[in-house]
Chain A
Amino acid sequence: MSIVTVQLGQCGNQIGFEVFDALLRDSQSSHGLCCKRENEAYQASCKERFFSEEENGVPIARAVLVDMEPKVINQTLSKAAQSGRWKYGQHACFCQKQGSGNNWAYGYSVHGPRHEESIMNLIRKEVEKCDSFSGFFIIMSMAGGTGSGIGAFVTQNLQDQYSNSLKMNQIIWPYGTGEVIVQNYNSILTLSHLYRSSDALLVHENDAVHKICAKLMNIKQISFSDINQVLAHQLGSVFQPTYSAESSFHYRRNPLGIDWHVRPPSSGLPSLGKKSLNKDLHFNTSIANLVILRGKDVQSADVEGFKDPALYTSWLEPVNAFNVWKTQRAFSKYEKSAVLVSNSQFLVKPLDMIVGKAWNMFASKAYIHQYTKFGIEEEDFLDSFTSLEQVVASYCNL
């Protein structure tokens, strides 16, 4: 079951490269801590998912690269080719010369429709190459113009043209003290649009990853490359083959078959009665949790702690909300590793903050003309605010 990755913008392309690199390096590593047969099954599964084969044996990433500037794409293509272990397809990229000026509206309303046909053609060719296609993985950032605007546009198109396929968007949450002044506008517009057309939003916060680099890895001068590598590592350990509880004799066929609902069910009626604001929350309430364990002793790992009903909403049984995937095959150099993918109230605060900041700017009409000039009206902003407020409210009410 193959996944087609769409890398958008500077951020998307850089991260995409790191992800493919991490995946292939792990699959080819010899420190699997499992028997040869197991290792071969793992390799074959990983290869089929993310790479297609060429005659001379060098795997080609199943990816489409899109950017409005040539610099990053060229860098990405050459880095991959230089590694010698894998590469991107020759005709798998689309780029222009102008850039999007960190303007979501420009990406969404101008670049998107203008290049829609070319981009969708590239994607279609990649999908047709798959023997068995399972879904899309779209990597983009929220703060810029290309990744966010074109990303939202492309995801919508994918929803229309491939309505029966799973789509997961990898979103990079910008630094709180980011450099792009309108990053909050871009973020809320992206999120509200993705909310409607994507199936799952996987979020990585730059701030959080930065902290990991600084505190856990003790890197002094943290570059984007370090951050991207950590990110890729995390993603790799989510995406590599695992066994799920039901079918323990072959690797899960569909890696996107996660019961995530990052889109929380929004109740149409406002909540009645007062909510106590001093709720003593020990945990962020979750809708779904997925734990992925790799390496030694996975069979005896105790995950009972995750089945505590206190972690979940009242209307969900832990058994429905919690999943565990395991494999003995170790990931990368780690003897044991664990990943937690969670759909919970964890993102409420950051989201609330972004919405708040964007609202403040909007209230004073700052920079709005840059958006209205390309077709994004104030009404669109208001719609975005409404849907995101709904999301925040729904998650708070869990």
Chain B
Amino acid sequence: MRGRRVGAAGARAIAGVSRSLPSDHSPRSSGRAKFDRPDDSAPWQLLLPRALPIPAGKRLASIALGKAALPALCFARANPRAALPAAGSVGWLLRAEDLCPRQMLPDPSGPLGDEMTVWGQCDALASLGPPAPHMETEGPVDVRHVQWLMGKLRFRWRQLVSSQQEQCALLSKIHLYTHGCHSDQSLGHLSVTEAEMLRDPEGGQQVSGAGAAQNLDLAYPKGLHFCTPGMGPRTFWNDLWLVCEQPGLLPGDWAAPLDPGGASACSLLFPLRVLLRTLEQENRRLEAVLAWRRTELVFWQWMDTVLGTCAPEAPAAASQPTFLPWVPECGDGELELVVRELQTLEEELREAAERRRVAWEAKARGCGRGPEWSATRRASQETVEKELGALQRRWEQDSGPAQAHGPHRLVRREDGAAGDRDLRAAELIRTLRSQEACLEAMLRQLQGQCRQELARVAGALPGLIWIPPPGR
């Protein structure tokens, strides 16, 4: 049983089990990720030490699993070995979510706000770096093709800018129109997704899926032309105004069950959202149960093997045996081996680096010490110091306001009040502008270098007339 591997099918079964647990305890994080890796010989080995202290020397009969769906399924199987611990012992699968901060868990019902992603300075600059030649061409590239591509890029950029402007105008309008309609006071107005869902419940679902930004292209004409034929752009805004200002005009199915006495849009939205979330959770759970049903057999077969090897020790335990996760004996030994290997590797690397450094120094020393050399050296030192200084200044500028990265929701506020983790658009714009300026400076520098290089090449060929292309 030592080192017994969880086969691929078994892993899938376990994954199915874990998914069928209630969503607020579902380990969507590293716990499940471990299960999904079929080659992991002891998936919970890594989790357990953090979740529960393992009594030394104990070998385990089965796994402690959390309450909810699994016990019901296991007991339904009428398998005596499936007796599970009482409600008190919350198993490690549940704890797994502690290993993973909540922000990393995807929002189950999809983002409802107008998503904006904040990129850190390092993210933006890290994506630059020395331009590496990406094209793997067999022969020389036709410069006309490159210019064609540049032109294509320019056109795409223009299209992107106009789409972006359209989106901003739309966001602004919706935020303005729906001010005061949101149940959450701190937000105050609806997002595009929420507005669309309110206006068109079935079609709006698609909008919330992949994020408002990308699907705006779909949502806008869809809302205008296809969902409600015969309506033009003006009527979209009319609709929205009606919904927000005169709630009684909502279609009967909507208003009646929730609050027949003239519900307002904001009181409609919140219970709807809750309902939606519950429905989706139910859905997911049902799907997981189905998946579990399919792989149930494999799971029990594997369980049998686990219990089979531990069975001889069972009679020695009390009538209510404590179930603890099983850990293979030689776990510690393996770990030590790995640590030792790492240390040897580190040593080797250090020695190699030292050797390289010594060799380079010797080479550099022998490079010559003339005034030319020291002048070059001084010049390059100065450039490096200048660039470093610029970098540091940029860093200090930008690390002033502590900015959280990642997705944010765009909210329009009249009063200007902001929470701790909120970012003001004006500050963000300022930061982006300074980044833009840096990048433009870099671009100009690179262009200058290119021009110098071209001039050098052109100058090297006598009799060549150089006519630069018409500037834009």
Contacts and interface: CB of A to CB of B under 8 A. Distances in A.
Interface of A: 1, 36-37, 40-41, 44-45, 47-48, 53, 131-135, 164-166, 195-197, 199, 247, 249-251, 253-254, 257-259, 261, 263-270, 287, 313-316, 386-387, 390, 394
Nearest to B222: A250
A58 B152 CA distance: 38
Contacts of B154: 199
Contacts of B157: 164
A268 B466 CA distance: 6
B226 interface: yes
B456 interface: no
Contacts of A134: 159, 162
Given A44-B233, A53-B234, A250-B217, A316 B162 contact: no
Given A45-B221, A164-B157, 15 more contacts: A40-B229, A41-B225, A41-B226, A45-B225, A134-B159, A164-B162, A165-B158, A166-B159, A250-B218, A265-B151, A267-B143, A268-B467, A269-B466, A315-B148, A316-B148
A37 B226 CA distance: 7
Given A132-B169, A259-B155, A316-B148, A251 B221 contact: yes
Given A1-B166, A131-B166, A263 B151 contact: yes
B252 interface: no
Contacts of A48: 232-233
Contact of B152 (A47, A259, A270, A386): A259
10 closest pairs, A vs B, by CB? Answer: A265-B147, A132-B166, A315-B142, A164-B161, A41-B225, A315-B145, A265-B144, A250-B221, A261-B151, A266-B469
A337 to B, nearest CB: 23
A142 B138 CA distance: 44
A47 B471 contact: no
B166 A44 contact: no
B80 interface: no
A313 B144 contact: yes
Contacts of A267: 143-144
Given A133-B162, A164-B158, A250-B217, A265 B148 contact: yes
Contacts of A264: 144
A40 B225 contact: yes
Contacts of B224: 44
Contact of B233 (A131, A259, A386): A131
A247 B165 CA distance: 20
Nearest to A270: B465
Main SS class of interface, A: loop
Nearest to A196: B470
B225 A257 contact: no
Interface range for B: 35 or more
Nearest to B464: A269
B144 A166 contact: no
Nearest to B234: A53
Contacts of A287: 148
Nearest to A394: B144
A387 B470 contact: yes
B130 interface: no
A54 B106 CA distance: 46
A135 B158 contact: yes
Contacts of B217: 247, 250, 253
B469 A268 contact: yes
Contacts of B163: 253-254
A166 B222 CA distance: 25
Contacts of B225: 40-41, 44-45, 250
Contacts of B155: 166, 199, 257-259
B468 interface: yes
Contacts of B471: 196
A265 B162 contact: no
Contacts of A53: 232, 234
B77 interface: no
Contacts of B166: 1, 131-133
A271 to B, nearest CB: 12
Residue picked from A45, A131, A196, A313, most chain B C-beta under 10 Å: A131
A390 B467 contact: yes
Nearest to B145: A315
10 contacts: A48-B232, A134-B162, A135-B162, A199-B154, A250-B217, A257-B155, A259-B155, A265-B148, A266-B147, A314-B142
A176 B230 CA distance: 48
B229 A37 contact: yes
Contacts of A131: 166, 169, 233
Contact of B159 (A40, A250, A254, A265): A254
B472 interface: yes
A132 B163 CA distance: 8
Interface in B212-238: 217-218, 221-222, 224-226, 229-230, 232-234
Nearest to A132: B166
A300 B146 CA distance: 35
Nearest to A269: B464
B470 A40 contact: no
Nearest to B461: A269
A198 to B, nearest CB: 10
A37 to B, nearest CB: 5
A133 to B, nearest CB: 6
A152 to B, nearest CB: 14
A36 B230 CA distance: 9
A199 B151 CA distance: 9
Interface string B125-152: 0000000000000000011111110011
Nearest to B221: A250
